[in-house]
Amino acid sequence: MQTEPRADTIFLQDLKVETIVGIWDWERKVRQTVSIDIEMAADVAKAALNDNIEGTLNYKAVAKRVQQFVGDSEYQLVETLAEKIAETVLAEFDIPWIQLRVSKPGAIRNAKNVGVVIRRYKA
């Protein structure tokens, strides 16, 4: 009997961070709030079996790292910010892939939100 591969995902939704992001002069001087949604592949079965954080991805550690990284960054494009977040998380945490949604609410008049969604895999 063949079993399906695990397809577990751990996510963080609407993680808000203030940062410098944008191409206009005023955007280079004022911190703006970006919202970040993150999905990461993780096998949660071991953690669920033992009810122990050691068997899974510590999403609090991921959140703290992303907040620190984004808060210290100064990119012009949300595309660049998303790429650099993905690179950082993939390098520092034991996950095979990450999907990120980086949103910049209020960036476009008459639009609720604007941003980018990327998925990246560990090399």
Q: Which amino acid is at 65?
A: R
Across 26-57, b (16+ Cβ under 10 Å) vs e yields eeeeeeeebbbbbbbbbbeeebeeeeeeeebb
Q: Which of 29, 46, 84, 104 is catalytic?
A: 104
Q: Are 37 and 14 in contact (CB under 8 A)?
A: yes
Cβ atoms of 57 and 68 within 8 Å: the answer is no
104 catalytically annotated: yes
* Interatomic CA distance for residues 33 and 11, integer angstroms: 20
113 token code pair: 């939100």
Catalytic residue set: 104
